[in-house]
């Protein structure tokens, strides 16, 4: 998989990714959620305590193919997904 663009908000993540044709979309999302959850929970102990016995990510996801729109349009859309006003003290380090 290749991540071409991304934006992280408090309650969701936008990504433009390329996946190989032999990998299903659901398997790719499962992999991304699983690996990122494991990494976040192992690096940030306060998250491990907060989400003990629960799931870090929600069950759902939304996917759209970029066949009718250029990748540049999607990248611009994702870049503009920042909230208009700062969201409390949320920041990505």
30-37 — which CB contacts under 8 Å span 24+ positions? Answer: 31/1, 32/1, 33/57, 33/61
Catalytic annotation present for 31: no
Catalytic residue (one of 44, 51, 61, 77) = 77
Which helix (H) or strand (E) covers residue 14, if one does?
strand 13-18
Active site positions, annotated: 77
């Amino acid at each position: 998989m290749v991540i071409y663009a991304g934006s992280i908000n408090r309650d969701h993540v936008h990504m433009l990714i390329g996946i190989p044709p032999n990998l299903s979309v659901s398997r790719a999302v499962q992999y991304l959620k699983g690996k990122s959850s494991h990494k976040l929970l192992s690096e940030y102990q306060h998250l491990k305590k907060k989400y003990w016995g629960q799931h870090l990510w929600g069950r759902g996801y939304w996917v759209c193919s970029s066949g009718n729109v250029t990748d540049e349009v999607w990248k611009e859309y994702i870049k503009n997904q920042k909230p208009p006003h700062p969201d409390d003290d949320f920041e990505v380090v």
